[in-house]
């Protein structure tokens, strides 16, 4: 049976849209908490100030902010990803109108 499709799969995950998708599981729900490894309150970032989001992500990246999950996520982001994600969350998700 053909199995090659499972190998070279390109699902477009490199785009910033794809990157934002990996944040939504935690950040998309107001008042959401994650229970691993401790119970954390997950801040709702949509509609936050763009500059604030950018600085927060850079602070996780540099280690200035210490949350382990966000540190490993920020470590995988480039400066460009960070400014795109900050712009995306700061503007695009405010509930539509802007
Ligand atoms: C596994 C769950 C999880 C995922 C996935 C995740 N985050 Fe977070 N994020 C958190 C938690 C928990 C905090 C609060 C950490 C703290 O207390 O410092 C946080 C904090 C933040 C903050 C700081 C918010 C504030 O008000 O200070 C930003 C910005 C942020 N995340 C952006 C992102 C972006 C962008 C992505 C995707 C690239 C992402 N996060 C993916 C759980 C997650």
User: For ligand 1, which residues put their CB under 6 angstroms from it?
Assistant: 19, 22-23, 25-27, 34, 40, 42-43, 45, 53, 56-57, 65, 67, 69-70, 73, 85
> Is residue 37 reached through a cis peptide bond, with omega within 30 degrees of 0 on the bond before it?
yes
Mean pLDDT of 35-47: 77
CA of 27 to the centre of ligand 1 (A): 7
Q: State yes or no: pLDDT of 80 exceeds 90.
A: yes
Question: Please, which pLDDT band fits residue 71 given cuts at 50, 70 and 90?
Answer: very high
Q: State yes or no: pLDDT of 10 exceeds 50.
A: no
Q: What is the dihedral of CA 59, 65, 71, 74, to 10 degrees?
A: -20
Question: Please, which pLDDT band fits residue 82 given cuts at 50, 70 and 90?
Answer: very high
Distance CA 19, CA 52 (A): 19
> Buried b vs exposed e over 48-70: b needs ≥16 C-beta within 10 Å?
beeeebbebbbbbbeeeeeeeeb
Mean pLDDT of 5-34: 59
Structure tokens at 45: 């970032």
Taking CA atoms only, the protein residue closest to ligand 1 atom 24 is 43
């Amino acid at each position: 049976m053909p199995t090659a499709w499972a190998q070279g799969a390109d699902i477009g995950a490199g785009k910033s849209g794809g990157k934002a998708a990996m944040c939504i599981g935690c950040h998309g729900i107001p008042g959401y908490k994650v229970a691993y490894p401790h119970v954390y309150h997950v801040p709702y970032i949509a509609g936050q100030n763009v500059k604030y989001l950018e600085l927060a992500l850079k602070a996780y990246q540099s280690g200035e902010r210490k949350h382990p999950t966000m540190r490993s996520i920020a470590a995988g982001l480039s400066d460009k990803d960070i400014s795109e994600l900050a712009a995306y969350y700061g503007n695009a998700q405010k509930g539509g109108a802007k």
